[in-house]
């Protein structure tokens, strides 16, 4: 729990599923296909060459627009004023380093960003940088190591298993729970389906005229 000794510890906010409601890679793919639906056919070939190659191609091809990312307003609002009291806030991620740095720089509340290829290495980097301890904001099952090692933890919409394990560590300050808001859920579903709408738009734009011309030629 929070004490006088850790009030000014650096805060590490996880990007995927905590600062934003989904995964950065998914969001960038959606933006990529919205701009160029033809790239839909490139995705399987990029994926066949491995996860690293796929991510490098996706992040390297799309210039991300952070204004449409699904940020959690309650997370931003909760930590926005910490800088005024001398608390450093870091955006941490296992996603693309360049884009993570770009997001942390644009939002204006982050001191810097810390990026690693997986959460095990991310924890190692954080502990090396902040040997006196850190505050962690996250809540996914693959972040248990980060949650356990944090002096204070803010859990973001954890599932029952994560919450059960985190309670054993005795460092939970706040749990940001998911509200059963049907309207919000509806718009989240619509957001996820943007990728399919982009693809359908591509089909109607390029293939329908072709099919129509072929059909007319056989009349």
pTM of the model: 0.81
Q: Which of 11-15, 60-64, 65-69 has the lowest mean pLDDT?
A: 60-64
Q: 155 to each of 36, 129, 138, how far by Cα in Å?
A: 37, 22, 5
pLDDT tens-place string over residues 4-32: 467 789 999 999 999 999 999 999 999 99
Q: How many CB atoms lie within 10 A of CB 200?
A: 12
Which residues lie closer than 8 Å to 104 by C-beta, 6 or more apart?
A: 90, 91, 110, 112, 113
What is 1-22+70-178's CATH number? Answer: 3.40.50.1000
């Amino acid at each position: 729990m929070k004490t006088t000794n850790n009030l000014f510890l650096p805060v590490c906010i996880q990007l995927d599923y905590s600062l934003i409601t989904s995964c950065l890679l998914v969001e960038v793919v959606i933006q990529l296909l919205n701009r160029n639906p033809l790239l839909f056919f490139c995705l399987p070939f990029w994926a066949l060459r491995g996860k690293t190659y796929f991510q490098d191609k996706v992040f390297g091809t799309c210039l991300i627009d952070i204004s449409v990312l699904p940020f959690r307003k309650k997370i931003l609002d909760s930590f926005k004023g910490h800088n005024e009291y001398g608390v450093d806030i870091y955006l941490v991620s296992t996603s693309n380093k360049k884009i993570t740095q770009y997001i942390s720089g644009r939002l204006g509340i982050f001191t810097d960003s810390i990026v690693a290829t997986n959460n095990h290495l991310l924890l190692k980097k954080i502990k090396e940088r902040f040997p006196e301890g850190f505050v962690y904001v996250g809540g996914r099952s693959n972040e248990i190591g980060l949650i356990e090692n944090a002096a204070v933890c803010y859990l973001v919409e954890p599932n029952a298993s994560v919450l059960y394990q985190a309670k054993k560590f005795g460092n939970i300050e706040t749990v940001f729970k998911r509200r059963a808001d049907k309207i919000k859920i509806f718009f989240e579903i619509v957001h996820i389906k943007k990728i399919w709408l982009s693809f359908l738009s591509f089909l109607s734009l390029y293939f329908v005229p072709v099919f129509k011309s072929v059909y007319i030629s056989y009349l």
